Amino acid sequence: MRQHRRIGLDTSVFIYHLEGVSRYAACTDVVFDDLAKGGFQGVTSVLTLMELAVRPLQLGRPEVADEYEVLLVNYPHLAVADIDRAIVRRAAELRARHGLRPADALQVAACLEHGASAFLTNDRDLRRVTETQVILLEDFVEG
């Protein structure tokens, strides 16, 4: 990842980190420490805010959803991209070319439109994307 100046971050990376998923904790700790120190610029889309809020809201914990949003929009060296017409068009092209699900296409398109040269995820289906280097967390987990 060190060769990339701007990296797109999929929602799963945030979920694993915020929920302390033990299998990925060491990896996400490195990612978010490096991001906080400016080792790279991160970008995700507003879809991440939506996806992170779902579980806390289901559990009747709106304050947790609020905390997640505050954390994301204020995290050092992380841009949270709005979805605009250019991103929607790029997402349509990605869906047509690679058969991505709508949310995945929008997430990748937002990162591409904001200059990401890599996309960190744990979704193997996204390896079909050729417009950026797709990096799976799973590839860095031991055992």
For the chain, the domains span: 6-140
Tens of each residue's pLDDT in the chain, 143 residues: 778 999 999 999 999 999 999 999 999 999 999 999 999 999 999 999 999 999 999 999 999 999 999 999 999 999 999 999 999 999 999 999 999 999 999 999 999 999 999 999 999 999 999 999 999 999 988 76
pTM of this structure: 0.95
- Pick 6-140's CATH classification: 3.40.50.300, 3.40.50.1010, 3.30.870.10, 1.10.150.120: 3.40.50.1010
Please check whether residue 122 is in contact with residue 11, taking contact to mean a CB–CB distance below 8 angstroms.
Answer: no
Length of the chain: 143
Sheet holding 6-9, edge to edge: 78-81, 41-45, 6-9, 118-121, 133-136
Per residue, the 3-state secondary structure of 29-43, as one string, reads: HHHHHHHHCCCCEEE
Rounded to an integer, what distance in angstroms lies between the CA atom of residue 18 and that of residue 14?
6
